[in-house]
């Protein structure tokens, strides 16, 4: 007899109806007694039990077959469902607003997909802008025609890595051909095979006339190639130079290939190991960020009469000759920072007073990297009531504890109905930055803000708390919400955004990958 299969559930409609459930055995029967005891069966019982097992096996075989048919039917249904869903999605994409979005808007959106400088690694086809060229012909055309999408070239050679495997020259050449101005980040490695690095830098140097910004982490091999693009960098506006290791500087006495860079206005030199002069068109500079001896600073600054921003780091002098040196006049200067990281806290005021006395402008802003003694900061604020903006950047757990002590000092002490103690009531902005995580209690910071904001004698208008590593939960604090609603300008940032803002506090050229 041909089996009749139900079209709804796949069951065998011709199978006999089996109403008896095999595990239901009538009480009082020998079978029931054997199922519920450990008694040995009689010969007659054995024959009956074997017959019962055979019936059960037949039923199980039938159920297995039925289940297999149902599974097959379910698979067919699921496959059809998936196929229809995919087909529906494809039809919906035809109606997507993205297909009708103006090219100019898409191009702007594409610009927001570029990886940040600090997140950039080697050129990867899975990253923007490369991945955008594989979506559709229209997206490819828009991406290729947007020169700004291709302007950032990030070349980073990690230690203990085969550099030949990182950057296909053909890929870099293609990117350069699609760009106009170039922002080049080249981070060499002294301990890695220099040949692929040299080939890559020579490739970039062939297009030096397109350079707009150049950030170099120099090795000895790359240093020897710098003269190759002298007089061929007419568009270069911003330059940052750093050295990979002490060995990288061994053959260097000076760098003079940038002297004829007619557009250069922003220069940053980080001499961690030895002071190497970088000769530049000083008269046209507006941003000066250099680690050097005071003698070198003095020589350069006398010529750099158009400087607006200067970061002066004196790391290589054994004495304090700059205190007795002649006055350097910078008529356009608006922001200046002098750093001497080796000095003890109690000498900061000793150095600051003559520097401010020489300036024709009052001191309005102070930023400390590595928080000095809290009492020293208090003395400086009391000595210079013109300071209205205070920023503290801490790098260690001890610095954070000192910063917490300073927060206590700046907190207005109350004794009803009068205020008892106010330190630096003139401060309009009080900000703290933590590059390596904050150890300051949130409650202490909030209490300081509330006390200054609610005091009629305090000028506080804004504050910032920046945590580069780690997190701050202040954004959800009810008191913070109230202060913001009442008008306090409060900036809370984490991660890369926090690092960038801290760099601007110290007038660093912004290149966080270094």
Backbone phi and psi for residue 154, each to the nearest 5 degrees, phi listed first: -110, 110
- The pLDDT confidence band at residue 309, using thresholds 50, 70 and 90, is confident
**What is the number of domains present in the chain?**
1
Q: How far apart are the first and last CA of the chain?
A: 83
Q: What is the pLDDT of residues 315-358, one digit of tens each?
A: 776 666 655 667 777 878 776 655 544 456 667 787 788 778 77
- Percent of the residues in the chain that have a pLDDT greater than 90, as a whole number: 51
Establish if 72 belongs to a structural domain: no
Taking residues 20-46, report their average pLDDT. Answer: 85
CA distances from 437 to 318, 394, 398, 405, 459 (A): 33, 9, 12, 17, 29
Range of the domain at 487: 363-514
Task: Please tell me what DSSP assigns to residue 5.
Answer: B
Establish if 388 belongs to a structural domain: yes
Residue 148 has pLDDT above 70, yes or no: yes
- Alpha carbon distance 261, 266 (integer Å): 11
Query: In a 3-state reduction of DSSP, which class is residue 173?
Result: helix
Q: What is the pLDDT of residues 222-278, one digit of tens each?
A: 999 999 999 999 999 999 999 999 999 999 999 999 999 999 999 999 988 889 999
Q: What is the pLDDT of residues 370-390, one digit of tens each?
A: 778 888 888 999 999 999 999
- The pLDDT confidence band at residue 487, using thresholds 50, 70 and 90, is very high
Question: What secondary structure, in 3-state letters, does 217-278 show?
Answer: EECHHHHCCHHHHCCCCCCCCEEEEEECCCHHHCCCCCECCCCCCCCCCEEEEECCCCCCCE
- Alpha carbon distance 238, 211 (integer Å): 9
Res 348: pLDDT: 79
Residue 279 has pLDDT above 80, yes or no: yes
Higher pLDDT, residue 343 or 175: 175
- Alpha carbon distance 129, 141 (integer Å): 12
- Alpha carbon distance 425, 415 (integer Å): 17
Listing DSSP states for 45-66 in one string gives: HHHHHHHHHHHHHHHHHHHHHH
Hey, what are 292's tokens? 């050097």
Higher pLDDT, residue 155 or 11: 155
Res 508: pLDDT: 64
Dihedral-angle region of residue 10 (phi above 0 means left; psi in -120 to 50 means alpha; beta otherwise): left
Task: Please tell me what DSSP assigns to residue 73.
Answer: H
Higher pLDDT, residue 468 or 204: 204
- The pLDDT confidence band at residue 475, using thresholds 50, 70 and 90, is low
Establish if 285 belongs to a structural domain: no
- The pLDDT confidence band at residue 200, using thresholds 50, 70 and 90, is very high
Query: In a 3-state reduction of DSSP, which class is residue 93?
Result: helix
Give the strand pairing for 211-218 and 182-187: parallel
Structural contact between residues 440 and 404, judged by C-beta atoms closer than 8 angstroms: yes
Taking residues 99-123, report their average pLDDT. Answer: 80
Establish if 291 belongs to a structural domain: no
Establish if 395 belongs to a structural domain: yes
Structural contact between residues 367 and 339, judged by C-beta atoms closer than 8 angstroms: no
Establish if 389 belongs to a structural domain: yes
Most confident of 92-106, 156-170, 493-507: 92-106
Res 137: pLDDT: 92
**Lowest mean per-residue pLDDT among 80-94, 181-195, 427-441:** 427-441
Establish if 18 belongs to a structural domain: no
Q: What is the mean pLDDT of the chain?
A: 85
Establish if 511 belongs to a structural domain: yes
């Amino acid at each position: 007899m041909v089996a009749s299969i139900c079209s709804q559930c796949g069951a065998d409609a011709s199978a006999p109806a089996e109403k008896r459930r095999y595990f239901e055995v009538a009480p009082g029967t020998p079978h029931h007694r054997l199922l519920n005891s450990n008694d040995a069966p009689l010969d007659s019982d054995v024959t009956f039990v074997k017959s019962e097992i055979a019936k059960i096996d037949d039923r199980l075989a039938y159920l297995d077959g039925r289940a297999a048919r149902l599974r097959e039917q379910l698979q067919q249904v699921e496959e059809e469902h998936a196929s229809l869903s995919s087909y529906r999605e494809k039809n919906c994409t035809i109606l997507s607003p993205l297909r009708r979005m103006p090219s100019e808007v898409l191009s702007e959106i594409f610009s927001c997909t570029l990886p940040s400088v600090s997140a950039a690694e080697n050129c990867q086809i899975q990253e923007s802008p490369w991945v955008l060229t594989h979506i559709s012909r229209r997206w490819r055309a828009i991406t290729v025609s947007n020169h700004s999408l291709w302007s950032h070239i990030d070349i980073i050679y990690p230690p203990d890595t085969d550099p030949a495997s990182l950057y296909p020259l053909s890929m870099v050449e293609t990117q350069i051909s699609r760009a106009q101005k170039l922002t080049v980040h080249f981070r060499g490695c002294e301990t890695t095979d220099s040949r692929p690095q040299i080939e890559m830098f020579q490739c970039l140097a062939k297009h030096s006339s397109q350079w707009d910004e150049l950030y170099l982490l120099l090795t000895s091999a790359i240093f020897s190639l710098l003269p190759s693009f002298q007089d061929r960098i007419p568009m270069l506006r911003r330059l940052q130079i750093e050295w990979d290791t002490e060995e990288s500087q061994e053959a260097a006495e000076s760098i003079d290939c940038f002297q004829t860079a007619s557009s250069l206005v922003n220069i940053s030199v980080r001499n961690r190991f030895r002071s190497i002069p970088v000769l530049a068109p000083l008269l046209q500079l507006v941003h000066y960020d250099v680690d050097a001896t005071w003698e070198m600073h003095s020589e350069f600054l006398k010529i750099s009469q158009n400087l607006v921003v200067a970061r002066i780091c004196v790391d290589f002098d054994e004495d304090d000759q700059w205190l007795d040196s002649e006055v350097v006049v910078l008529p356009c200067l608006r922001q200046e920072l002098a750093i001497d990281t080796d000095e003890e806290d109690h000498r900061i005021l000793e150095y600051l007073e003559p520097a401010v006395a020489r300036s024709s402008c009052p001191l309005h802003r102070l930023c400390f990297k590595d928080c000095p003694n809290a009492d020293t900061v208090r003395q400086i604020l009391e000595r210079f009531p013109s300071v209205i903006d205070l920023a503290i950047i801490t790098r260690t757990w001890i610095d954070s504890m000192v910063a917490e002590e300073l927060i206590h000092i700046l907190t207005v002490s109350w004794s009803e109905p009068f205020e008892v103690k106010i330190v630096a009531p003139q401060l309009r902005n009080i900000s703290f930055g933590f590059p390596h995580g904050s150890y300051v209690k949130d409650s202490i910071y909030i209490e300081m803000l509330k006390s200054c904001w609610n005091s009629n004698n305090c000028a506080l208008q804004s504050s910032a708390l920046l945590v580069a590593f780690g997190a701050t939960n202040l954004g959800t604090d009810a008191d913070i919400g109230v202060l913001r609603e009442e008008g306090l300008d409060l900036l809370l940032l984490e991660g890369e955004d926090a690092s960038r803002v801290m760099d601007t506090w110290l007038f660093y050229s912004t290149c966080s990958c270094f």
